[in-house]
Structures are given as C-alpha cells and as structure tokens.
Chain A
C-alpha cells in the first residue's frame, strides 16, 4: 500500500464536490429526496428510496453510548452487542440462521455518545427481516447464557487489543484529554470493569437509555416509500416511550488543558513508537467545521499535506503522518498521529513540532488553498454514494442537528475560504502551547525523549484500563 490514509484517517474524510479557481468544473451534488416523520412515541423516521440495486439499508441511532456507562465501563458496548443475544420470540441462533440464510447483515454497536444498529438485506426478503429488527431494537432478552459466553470473548479481546498500539491509543488519548468528563470513558471498557458486568446490568442499561423519543431510524434503498411508511408505523409504534429523562452528562464542563503533559505507555516488546500530539478540538456544531476541514487537509489530511510531506516523503521517518479533529456534540479533540522506529522517535517528534510551528507562522498560500478546496470538493461525493452511506448521513443530521444544507451548500462554503480566514482558523484551533503527548513504545529507550517534552506520567500497557 502506498498510503494508509484510508485506514487511519477516518474522521475528516467527509469532503467535497467540485468547483474552482483554475481547473475543476462544478458538478452539482445534492442530497437525494427523502421524507422525515415522527411517530407518536417520538421516534424519528427518515425514508429515502434508491433503486440502483435491489437492496435495503437500515440505520438506527440511539442515545445509549459509553458516556452513560457510569462506573460500569464497557456497559454501553456490551448492551448494544447484547441486542442480538435473543429477543422475545427469537433465540440468538435463530436470528443468525435466518439472516445468514438470506445473506443479510446486522450490526449493533456503541460509540462514545450513541448506540447504533445497521442492517442490509435484499428488498425481496424484507418481510423476513423486519420482524427480527423490530424485536432486536425494542424487545431484546439479554439471555444470560449468551452473555456469559460473550463476556469471556470480550475479556480476552480487551487483553489482545493491547498487543497492538494502534487499537488502543485512542482510548488512552480520550482519557488523557477529557480526564473525568464522560467523553473520557473508553467505549470498550476494561477487564476489571467488564468482569463484573451481568446480564441484568445490560437490561437495566437498556431500560434506561433505549428510548424512542431520542432515537432515529433511517431506511434507504429499494422500496416504495408509501408502503414503507405504513409498515414502519405499524412495526415501531409499539415501542414504548421511556419514562425517565436522560441526564445530559456530556454538557458538564471539561477541565481545560493548562500545561504540557506527556503520557508514556510502556510496551516492552515494541519495535516502534506510536504517538499522538495535540489537545482540545471542536464541537460538531462549530460554524467553522467546513473551513477547518479545508485547513486540516493542508496540514495533515491528505498525502501531500505538510505533515506527511515532511515526515514521510522528505525524511522517510514513517509510513504515514496525519492530523485529525474528532468532534462530538459538546467537545472534541485534535491530534497529530504518526509512528516511527524506536530509534528515530526523537527526530520524528521534533519534526512534527516544527511542522506545527511553521503552520502557525506561515499559514496557507493561495495556490495551496485552491488545491485544498478542489481536493475536499472532489473527494466529497463518494462519501455519499451508497444507500448505507446515505442512511448514516440521515442519522448524523438527526444526531448533530444539521440538515441537507450541509451537503448542498458544501461547495459554496468551501469556496468561501480565503488565506486570511485560514490564518485565523489556524491561530484559533491549532494548539501552539500546552501541547499534550502520548507515546506508546519501549520506555527504556524513549523515556529520555519524553522527559524533554514535559512532565511524564508512565503507564504499563498491560495494566488494566487506560
């Protein structure tokens, strides 16, 4: 592989249409027509017909993410997975056999703020699938025997994840940046907390947080919207409104980052150092969201970005260097992300810091800005090509409270960027001091480098949690 961008750089790959300055001619990219309605129980439904292939995609979003874990870290994630351990009328095996037989996919999962369900199936099979989806979402049984088996797998999975720095560094990062705020909760939990969970913890969490009034379901694909509306109204109106009001835990204040800190995570057998440098980022509803995408494209969001050009192309220190903003509803983080052989850790950190400093000093010139605008517009439409992608977009609109103008005005918003505005954006959102560092690597070889950066806290990767 030439590049790792597709794998590692997932956040700011939301990108652009096509207009500009010198070369790229505009081609309109608009959100296809859809219908939105709310059931009496408060569930929001989006329907969008798409007939390219005889397939239907379903995507649901529920306010039941890891921020509601409390002391029981990992509970949201196991509850979401547990939706599939059997329901009122189907065992786990029956669900799996029925869906596998028709080549249908069903995933249930939790993220930081929300839980989700996605499904894909042939339109001809929808009457076999809908009764199952309905029960998975609204009448899960949380079978204790299935949970016990899953818990064992999850516990080993958590230990195994620590064999790979890439799969755990973001959990360390969120805990390091957000501290005790609920955004610091690791979605996966840790062996110590997961060990204590029971099937009744799952049903308790479900009762409290899986409520139709805060949730949405989007259906995109090959169907007749009128018939689908009737079907869904019939199927999901019975999902009872929750009685308890969820606390808005995420709106709690986050402790500001007032000094430089270094977290060194020791991995005895590491052959390289994996690291993140950064600090606070933005909320998803930040009015500069699109402008920041353009600016970050230049800094660390594409192959010719300053970071990748300096750390990879010019110096051969790494296979890839990038930067990303990870926005949530109430806060976000920013991170420069790269990795390098243990012996080149020092020069790589220094170069990354030099690039950040230079970005603040120089800003973006006209030609680079024109290039970044073309790039984000040109790469935008493939992000919204399939029914699954469109269903996810509709849920995001619901969750973050934006509408199709985000897509439809994207080109215009990108085109509105100027070099002067870019300079302001850099000064405002890219940290210049009080930088935060995480290094996962062999402490004996890199601790001296870490200590030059700031006060070091050391953790052992094999220790529980993050």
Chain B
C-alpha cells in the first residue's frame, strides 16, 4: 500500500512544481561544430560556463600517460592575447573564479562569474582555445605542480593507491589501465611537441560541448558565441578509441603494501558503459547495496557483524565499459578474507533472492531527491546537463532519469546482479601493512 501511495504522490509533485524542465534548456550549434546548451536562471546574479572536452586519459597511450590532465593545467598558462598568468588574473579581476577536472573520459573547464562579466569570460576562453601558447618555462614549473598533486594524493588517500593497482589489473588492453594523473616517468619526459599535437587533435570546437546556466539571456550567449568562438576553425575529428577490453577469464588479485592500521579492500567487476540498457538497473543495485545505513552492506557488515568500519560501492558513468566497485575497511582484528567473503555473501543473496519491492521503491525515492539536489544550484544544473549530454548522449536524459529509474523492475535488478557480479569477472585489491605473511 505504502508503495502505490508514494508513487502517486511522486507523480503529482513532478508536474505541480515550477522547477526546471528539459524544455527550459536551449540548444544551438556554431558553424564550427561547437554545441551550446543554455539554461536561463535568475535566482542569483551569477552565471557559469562549463566546457566539456571529449578527451581524457582513455585517449592516451604509454609514453604520454597523464597528458590530458597535464594539459588541463597548461590551459591556464598563457595564450596569444592573455599571456602566462593573465587568464586567472583577468578572470579574478572580473569577479570570476574557475577550476577544471580531468577524468578517464573527459576534461571539463568550469568558470563561475557575476553574470555582468560574461563577455570577458568568452574572450578568455576563445583566446586559449584558438591560440594556446606552450611556454617551456611554464611546462617546467607545472611538472613540479603535478608531481606535488600526485604525491599529496598518495600521502593522504589509501584508496587512490589501491584503485590505481586494481584498475591496472582489471584492464589489460583498454586505456582505463593507467591512472588519470599518469606515470611519473611520462610526466617527467613528455615533450613540447607531444603537448602541441595533443592540443591540435583534441582542443577543437567540434570536440567540445559548452553548458551555461545563470542570470544570462540566450540571445546574448548566442551573440557572444558567434563573435568569439565561431571563428575558431573545426578540425578533423580525433580517431576514436578502438581498444576494447576482452572479457575477463577469471578472478584477478593484487596486493599493495602500505603502513595502515587495518586492511583496505576493493573488489571491482566489469560493467557496461552508461549508454547500455542495463545502466539504470545496475545503478539501483549499487544503491540497494550501499546507499545509507539501511543499505544491505552497511547494515550487515558495519552494523550487525561489525566486520567493517566503512563500506561503499561505486558505479559511475563512463564512455567505455567500466567498473562496478566495492570498497571496505576492516574493523580492528578482522581478517580481510572475512570481510571480503561477507561482501560476496550479500551479493549472492541478491543474485539468489533478488531485492524487495520496498528496497526498489526506496531507491527510486532517493533518486528523485538526488535529482532535486542536482537542480538546486546553477552549478549543479550545468554540470549535470553536460554530464548527461556526453555520457548518455542527450541532456534530456537528465530530466528523464527519475522516470527511467521508475521503469526498472525487481527482475531487472536480480538479472544484472547475476550477469555482472560474477567471480570470474572481478578484480580484488588488498592494501595492508604486512604483505609478506
């Protein structure tokens, strides 16, 4: 009864609120192929610009690993009109701030600014996309910055070290094999020519989707885009990544030594990319297992059996087939094998008996709340609109997500658990102090 009632209310609330809808997002494409998605929102006097480049560490090869991320740094180090340091100085002088991030799949540049500074932001972005200059002095100091970034990550997070090893074992053919930040030897050795080739191949307007939200008008965005960005020529689209990870033939295991108090465990299963029909069922499975203290894994392993002090799972959108991963930290005195087996026990329960209707409805409710959080800020709007456009092929899928989750059935969740969470399809990593025992 509870279930039907909630469903009914959910439907009502979806139509009765004057919140952002898919049709509020306006789209246009410049002659050079650069696509724009614009959402007018006057809730605060600010705006943002998110540039999603379809390039990440999956586009690299040994010898230039980490170059996408390094390039992300170099995009702030000077172009034709705005030389070294001037991109940030000009943006901050105009009340704006920025950041950027690189993943296996994409490189995203984010500008946050008072809406009145929009034209300057267009000028700055156009300058670096059209004519970045690669200054050897800046390359040298940036190598030090990236070395520090890599080292501080490893100093402060055990998961960073462990997941590097697990990915390297899980992917033997596909470029998800190496870490986004790259191998230190590549960071030390790539050349100016490598950087220039990379820029000309991937930093083309036709390889970029721009999302803007905030107190701006579509007409102004269009006028400025035509003025500053349309003159930048398109280039031949980059070669698609053709490497496909072959099916895994059996469980793989890796051990990592680090001076930690209790062992860390990661177990990762190959899963399809985010455009696959099983995406939503797998994501619901992910939430059933680890979202909240009432989730299967937390309740069994942290609360009842007290084998772990923390447990989580992750299933993120990716361009190519990626990983569905579990992460656990052993409670004091607990052997890692006991925690590992307890994780599998919970997975086997889902495979054998499925999940309950109550659990399925819980996750659908959580997904709706998550959607509200995504659209509560102009930054959440831009980031999610862009993510859906790139990873799911259409920004409208962001607004369809609550109904896509609604369509998933109990049988779907049980089926994907059986199909993907198999022993032969997993890679297990253990990080602990004593690996000699």
Q: Which chain A residues have a beta carbon within 8 Å of chain B's beta carbons?
A: 1-3, 5-6, 16-18, 23-25, 27-29, 51-55, 93, 96-97, 99-104, 120-122, 124, 149, 152-153, 155-157, 159-160, 163-167, 268-272, 274, 302-304, 309, 312-319, 339-341, 367, 370-371, 374-375, 377-379, 381-382, 384-387
A-B contact pairs, 23 of them (CB 8 A): A23-B94, A24-B117, A52-B376, A53-B19, A55-B369, A55-B376, A93-B299, A100-B294, A100-B366, A103-B367, A157-B309, A164-B157, A302-B92, A303-B88, A312-B145, A319-B148, A367-B93, A371-B92, A374-B94, A377-B114, A378-B113, A381-B44, A385-B43
B144 at the interface (CB under 8 A from A): yes
Residues of the B chain whose Cβ atoms lie less than 8 Å from the Cβ of A165: 155-156
Residues of the B chain whose Cβ atoms lie less than 8 Å from the Cβ of A367: 93
Residues of the A chain whose Cβ atoms lie less than 8 Å from the Cβ of B85: 304, 309, 313
B82 at the interface (CB under 8 A from A): no
**Docked complex Cα distance between A155 and B261 (Å):** 11
Q: Considering only CB atoms, which chain A residue lies closest to B332 in the complex?
A: A156
B152 at the interface (CB under 8 A from A): yes
Q: Considering only CB atoms, which chain B residue lies closest to A377 in the complex?
A: B95
Are A3's CB and B99's CB within 8 A? yes
Q: How far is the CB of A356 from chain B (nearest CB, A)?
A: 21
Given contacts A17-B45, A303-B88, A312-B145, contact A23 B376 (CB under 8 A): no
Q: How far is the CB of A175 from chain B (nearest CB, A)?
A: 20
B303 at the interface (CB under 8 A from A): yes
B418 at the interface (CB under 8 A from A): no
**Docked complex Cα distance between A303 and B100 (Å):** 13
Residues of the B chain whose Cβ atoms lie less than 8 Å from the Cβ of A93: 294, 299
Additional 17 contacts, C-beta under 8 A, given A166-B155, A379-B97: A2-B99, A93-B299, A96-B293, A99-B292, A101-B294, A149-B303, A156-B331, A302-B92, A313-B85, A319-B145, A339-B155, A371-B93, A374-B93, A375-B97, A382-B46, A382-B378, A382-B379
Which segment, of B135-143, B197-205, B390-398, faces chain A?
A: B135-143
Q: How far is the CB of B137 from chain A (nearest CB, A)?
A: 10
Q: Please report which residues of chain B, range 268-310, place their CB below 8 angstroms from some CB of chain A when the two chains form the complex.
A: 291-295, 299, 302-303, 306, 309-310
Are B156's CB and A314's CB within 8 A? no
Of the four ranges (under 10, 10 to 19, 20 to 34, 35 or more), the interface on chain B belongs to 35 or more
Chain B 65-89 interface 0/1 with A at a Cβ cutoff of 8 Å (1 = within):
0000000110010000000010011
Q: Which chain B residues have a beta carbon within 8 Å of chain A's beta carbons?
A: 6, 9, 13, 17-19, 43-46, 72-73, 76, 85, 88-89, 92-102, 112-117, 120, 140-149, 151-152, 154-158, 215, 258-262, 291-295, 299, 302-303, 306, 309-310, 329, 331-332, 358, 361-362, 365-370, 372-373, 375-379
Given contacts A96-B294, A101-B361, contact A313 B215 (CB under 8 A): no
Given contacts A155-B332, A382-B46, contact A51 B18 (CB under 8 A): yes
Residues of the A chain whose Cβ atoms lie less than 8 Å from the Cβ of B302: 153
Given contacts A316-B140, A316-B145, contact A6 B95 (CB under 8 A): no
Are B155's CB and A152's CB within 8 A? no
Are B377's CB and A27's CB within 8 A? no
Are A341's CB and B291's CB within 8 A? no
Inter-chain CB contacts under 8 Å: number: 235
Residues of the A chain whose Cβ atoms lie less than 8 Å from the Cβ of B293: 96, 100
Q: How far is the CB of A82 from chain B (nearest CB, A)?
A: 14
**Docked complex Cα distance between A269 and B377 (Å):** 41
Residues of the A chain whose Cβ atoms lie less than 8 Å from the Cβ of B329: 156, 160
**Docked complex Cα distance between A381 and B41 (Å):** 14
Q: How far is the CB of B69 from chain A (nearest CB, A)?
A: 9
Are B19's CB and A52's CB within 8 A? yes
Q: Considering only CB atoms, which chain A residue lies closest to B100 in the complex?
A: A2
Q: How far is the CB of B232 from chain A (nearest CB, A)?
A: 22
Instruction: Name the residue among A28, A124, A153 with the largest chain B CB count within 10 angstroms.
Output: A153
**Docked complex Cα distance between A377 and B117 (Å):** 12
> Which listed residue (A1, A271, A370) contacts B155, Cβ 8 A?
A271
Are B294's CB and A103's CB within 8 A? no
Are A378's CB and B46's CB within 8 A? yes
Residues of the B chain whose Cβ atoms lie less than 8 Å from the Cβ of A387: 376
> Which listed residue (A2, A5, A17, A274) contacts B76, Cβ 8 A?
A2
Residues of the A chain whose Cβ atoms lie less than 8 Å from the Cβ of B141: 313-316
Are B100's CB and A24's CB within 8 A? no
Q: Considering only CB atoms, which chain B residue lies closest to A348 in the complex?
A: B148
Residues of the A chain whose Cβ atoms lie less than 8 Å from the Cβ of B92: 302-304, 371, 374-375
Are B148's CB and A339's CB within 8 A? yes
**10 closest A-B pairs (Cβ-Cβ)?**
A378-B95, A316-B144, A27-B45, A103-B369, A316-B141, A103-B366, A100-B292, A18-B114, A371-B93, A381-B44
> Which listed residue (B17, B45, B365, B372) contacts A29, Cβ 8 A?
B45
Are B44's CB and A382's CB within 8 A? yes
Are A378's CB and B379's CB within 8 A? no
